[in-house]
Amino acid sequence: MEQKILEIKKNALAEIDNVSDGKTLEEVKNKYLSRASELNALKKGLKDVAPELRPKIGALTNEVSKEIELLINQKAEKFYAEELNKKLEAEKIDVTLPSTFEPVGHIHPLTKTINEITEIFELLGFSLIKNEFSPEIETEKYNFDLLNVPKEHPARDVQDTYYAKSAVNVVLRSQTSNSQVRQMQNSKPPIKIISPGRVYRSESVSARKNNLFHQIEGLYVDKNVTFSDLKGVLNEFIRLYFGSSRPTRFRNSFFPFTEPSAEVDVQCIMCHGKGCPTCSGTGWLEILGSGMVDPNVLKAVNIDPEIYSGFAFGMGVERLAMLKYAIDDIRLFFNNDVRFLNQF
């Protein structure tokens, strides 16, 4: 029996020595160490061995299986290390190679300006309007009629507004004020919203005018909203947007949908009021239109002007961006010239 065990050992050691891959090693392991192995059978047969020989034979079987196991494990570790080295070698990174250049995108200056202005008004308690209340393709009813714009008003002329050829009374909106009306029709006061978006006007394109541009509309309707609220909010907006206590002035004006109406000027950011080409020598730059919502507009959307009042304002995004970043040609925003866009 002892002979037999030593022979198994000899064979096993020879086979292990010959193995050159993990799969064969696994087979060898099965052959010599599994339940079905010869050694195991010998262990089971130990009870038939003469009692005085049992301890010796038992110890030998254990010793041999331990030794085989040890050798197999050593070999397995060796294979693992070789495998790992191969993998590391294959995946080696050459840090001296030049890297690929991934250009970083920029936020468009108009988007940046809209975000900035929106954040300021959110700070002042205004919420962004829902998209469905601010369509760019609009009916005359919402772009003009419900805003108290008379039928014969020059803004309705095809010289100023784009009309659809295939549908009656459909326009590309000429102002974001349409969203005021839609918001008031769809909710009850208090209403405190801002609404940024594209507007279209039939203009000949120049350094100062483009036929597509962006506006931000604001509306606040509640009980006891006054002209001082309007001044407070807009002054605070200007302070936060231009970043200093820049002088402002409220100039009497007229819009069909507000009464009274005011245009708001800031002191020229170029010459600080001295007078220069940017401000046409006046020292002031107009930045927005505003006013107290006309009672006719409130009535048209079933809000009682005896109970509620409100103010509204509208500003041109391109103009505000041009003033802040000293840009002198509006067309730069639309040409997609990366030399311009990279600066933002």
Of 24-32, 40-48, 187-195, 310-318, the window that binds ligand DAH (rule: CB under 6 A) is: 310-318
Of 29-37, 85-93, 223-231, 289-297, the window that binds ligand DAH (rule: CB under 6 A) is: 289-297
E strand spans, 294-332:
309-316
- Closest distance of CB 177 from ligand DAH, Å: 4
Pairwise CA distance, residues 312 & 192, whole Å = 10
The answer to the question of residue 291 lying near ligand DAH (CB under 6 A) is yes
Number of residues that bind ligand DAH (CB under 6 A): 11
Nearer to ligand DAH, 32 or 121 (CB): 121
For ligand DAH, the binding residue among 16, 268, 287, 312 (CB under 6 A) is 312
Nearer to ligand DAH, 268 or 317 (CB): 317
Which 3-state string (H, E, C) describes 113-168? HHHHHHHHHHHCCCEECCHHHCCCEEEHHHHCHHHCCCCCCHHHCCCCCCECCCCC
Enter the tokens of residue 270: 């170029």
The answer to the question of residue 233 lying near ligand DAH (CB under 6 A) is no
Enter the tokens of residue 263: 């245009």
319 Cβ contact list (under 8 Å, min separation 6): 287
Of 119-127, 186-194, 270-278, 285-293, the window that binds ligand DAH (rule: CB under 6 A) is: 285-293
Rounded to 5 degrees, what angle do the CA atoms 213, 217, 221 make? 170
- Backbone phi, psi, residue 260, to 5°: -75, 165
Q: For ligand DAH, what does the binding mask look like between residues 179 and 218, x meaning CB under 6 A? A: --------------------------------------x-
The answer to the question of residue 142 lying near ligand DAH (CB under 6 A) is no
Of 70-78, 120-128, 158-166, 311-319, the window that binds ligand DAH (rule: CB under 6 A) is: 311-319
Of 95-103, 239-247, 279-287, 306-314, the window that binds ligand DAH (rule: CB under 6 A) is: 306-314
CB neighbour burial string for 101-120, b if at least 16 within 10 angstroms, e if fewer? eeeeeeeebbeebbeebbeb
Q: For ligand DAH, what does the binding mask look like between residues 247 and 276, x meaning CB under 6 A? A: --------x--x------------------
Nearer to ligand DAH, 161 or 258 (CB): 258
For ligand DAH, the binding residue among 161, 177, 178, 248 (CB under 6 A) is 177
Nearer to ligand DAH, 237 or 255 (CB): 255
List the strands of the sheet with 127-128, edge to edge. 127-128, 191-200, 212-222, 309-316, 284-293, 258-267, 248-255
From the list 257, 254, 173, the residue with the least C-alpha distance to 211 is 173
Interacting residues with ligand DAH (CB under 6 A): 175, 177, 217, 255, 258, 289-291, 312-314
